[in-house]
Structure formats: C-alpha cells, structure tokens
C-alpha cells in the first residue's frame, strides 16, 4: 500500500500500466453514479436549512477538520448557529448519533469528536441526509449545516461545494484510484463553488474564475494531554528523548509544522489515518510524545496509566483564511436564499 501511495506523487510507469484496468473500472462506476443523480435516476434530498459541503476530490489529509473548526468559530462570532454532519470515519455508529465532547471515538470517530469540542452541534451517520434531519430535530435553531466531507455523497442536496486542496501535493499524478489519489477527475473542480488551498506557494493551478481561498495552519504552544493550561515551548523539550506520533492522512505536514517550532525530535512514528491507538503504540523509552489534536482525543481514551499520559503533549493548530471564507459563504447564501 505504501508503494502505491508513493506512486501517486512520484509515478512509476510500470505501476501506472498495472493499475490502469482497476482505475478504468473505478472511473466507470464513479461516472455512472454521478450520471444517475444528474439525469434524475436517483434523487438528491434537501434539508430545511442551507448546506455547505466541505470536501475534497482526493484521498488523504488535506485539512478539512481545521477548516471546519475555523468556520464554526467565525460563524459563532457573527451570531450564526451552524451545525456539522459527518460520516464519522473510524466510528461504529450505524444510525445518526449526536456527538458529545465525552463521546467514545470508537463509536463516533475522531474528527467529529474534535469538532464537537468547539461547542457546535455535531451528528454522525452513514446517511448524511438522515444525519442532517436528526441534527435539526435535536437543534431546531441551527441556521446552516456544514457537511464534513461528503462531496461525493450526492444524495444530500447542497447549496455550496467547497473543495479543499493540499497546496504542496496538489492532485498528485492526476489519476483516479487506485492509480492515483483522486476520487473524481480534476474536471470536478470546474463544478464546485470555491476552493481552499492549504499551504504551498500559491502556484497550484485551478479552473479559471473559481474563487480561491488560502488557508494557513498556525500552531500554538504544545500543551499537556490532561491539562491544556500547562504548556511547553521548544526550550522545554531540550535534552529530552522526544518522539512525534501521528495517525492522520498526511503526517508529513504535522512533522514539518513541528520542525518549524524548533523542537528537536528523535523519532517520527506514522500510523494509518483513524488508527485505533493502544497503550503499546506509545514508545516506552520516550521522555515526551507529541501528537496532533485529532490523535489526542483517541489517546485520552486509550491510555489509563498516569505516568504514560503525563508524557503526552498536544500541538494544536488553528486555520486562518484569506480572504474571509465565512463572509463569502454568508454572502452567497444571502444571494441564493435571501437570508
């Protein structure tokens, strides 16, 4: 699997040829599904409030969760009550389930738990239409729903589609799964309403006329797993055996962010996205283990030994956007719905 993922960004000719038949089958099935909704063979269902989808056409971490958190923060600052629906990847919930700050990530998933910590109402469910209706039944004051991922969940009608892209990796080799990292062809970007580019040098090419927003992830000081008020800067880790651990879609971005903080790291450990951590995943010889906020919500549940928990530190990041995406969304919805 790692060879294939490397091939997505550093193509190998022989592997391209080998995977071409599978790519063709994936492309056919994806195209048939899109056409089924476009031609009315399958119908999309609307919710009672506007829906903005925050999604991507490629697999792997692109920064959807920090973006959604930033939008929730900005909507709240403007007095707009926004809620979130999510598939809840990594969770076992089969029916619509509300996510509370103390929910079990094994049930609701890791990213929804992180989103719920913001105070916004969050519901997970494999059927996002049902999830949206459940959210509105529980929170009838919600004025806008953000669908975390779901760009390809066409049964849910949406008012806005916002595609998130990695500014450094872009679309890789531009090919569909499993020959490349794409769920849909690059031409799909011609039909979304806006693109958010996470990092990079601004050189990523987008369709002409597509509104573009640049996202920057700004880290804060590391804080203790069990006490967010206890912080530590790079000097505080000097002389320690420091391990950085990540179970996210694109761990290299987190590793680079940590390096930018000037923290000397002895070892980097990568786990699959949505990995279910166990105590044995934490190196016994590490003086300090630095993790992402997303992994922290699972590790807080998985680790019960006080000494082991005391060695864990979390590096939080906050997304900033230029220009103001929240304001743009509200303006577009006002034009569309007069609200």
Query: Is 59 part of any known ligand binding site?
Result: yes
Residue 53 phi/psi, 5-degree rounding, is: -90, 130
Query: Is 65 part of any known ligand binding site?
Result: yes
- What span, in angstroms and rounded, lies between the C-alpha atoms of 79 and 98? 22
Give the number of other CB atoms < 10 A from CB of residue 323: 10
Query: Is 60 part of any known ligand binding site?
Result: yes
Query: Is 56 part of any known ligand binding site?
Result: no
Tell me the two tokens of residue 53: 């989808």
CA 154 to chain centre: 19
Taking Cα atoms as reference points, which of 104, 80, 101 lies closest to residue 92?
Answer: 104
Tell me the two tokens of residue 162: 């916002």
Q: What share of the chain is helix, strand, coil (3-state, %, to 5)?
A: 35, 25, 40
Residues near 71 by Cβ (< 8 Å), separated by ≥ 6?
A: 54, 82, 146, 325, 326, 329
Can the peptide bond before residue 197 be classed as cis, meaning omega within 30 degrees of 0?
A: no
Query: Is 58 part of any known ligand binding site?
Result: yes
| Residues in binding site for ATP | 58-65
| Residues in binding site | 58-65
């Amino acid at each position: 699997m790692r060879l294939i993922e490397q091939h997505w960004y550093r193509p190998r000719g022989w592997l391209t040829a080998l995977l071409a038949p599978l790519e063709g089958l994936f492309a056919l099935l994806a195209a048939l599904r899109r056409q089924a909704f476009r031609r009315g063979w399958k119908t999309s269902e609307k919710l009672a409030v506007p829906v903005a989808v925050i999604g991507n056409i490629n697999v792997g971490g692109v920064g959807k969760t920090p973006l959604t958190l930033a939008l929730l923060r900005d909507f709240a600052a403007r007095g707009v009550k926004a809620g979130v629906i999510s598939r809840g990847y990594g969770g076992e919930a089969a029916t619509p389930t509300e996510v509370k700050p103390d929910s079990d990530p094994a049930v609701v998933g890791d990213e929804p738990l992180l989103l719920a910590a913001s105070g916004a109402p969050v519901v997970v469910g494999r059927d996002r239409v049902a999830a949206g209706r459940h959210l509105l039944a529980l929170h009838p004051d919600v004025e806008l729903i953000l669908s975390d991922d779901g760009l390809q969940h066409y049964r849910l009608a949406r008012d806005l589609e916002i595609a998130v892209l990695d500014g450094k990796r872009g679309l890789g080799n531009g090919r569909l799964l499993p020959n490349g990292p794409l769920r849909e062809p690059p031409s799909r970007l011609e039909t979304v309403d806006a693109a958010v580019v996470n990092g990079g040098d601004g050189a990523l090419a987008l369709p002409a006329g597509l509104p573009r927003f640049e996202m920057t992830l700004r880290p804060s000081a590391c804080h203790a797993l069990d006490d967010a008020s206890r912080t530590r800067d790079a000097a505080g880790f000097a002389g320690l055996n420091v391990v950085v651990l990540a179970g996210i879609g694109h761990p290299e971005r987190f590793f680079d962010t940590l390096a930018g903080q000037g923290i000397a790291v002895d070892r980097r450990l990568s786990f699959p996205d949505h990995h279910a951590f166990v105590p044995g995943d934490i190196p016994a010889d590490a003086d300090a283990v630095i993790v992402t906020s997303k992994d922290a919500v699972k590790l807080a549940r998985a680790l019960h030994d006080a000494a082991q928990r005391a060695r864990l530190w979390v590096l939080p990041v906050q997304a900033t956007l230029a220009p103001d995406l929240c304001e743009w969304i509200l303006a577009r919805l006002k034009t569309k719905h007069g609200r």
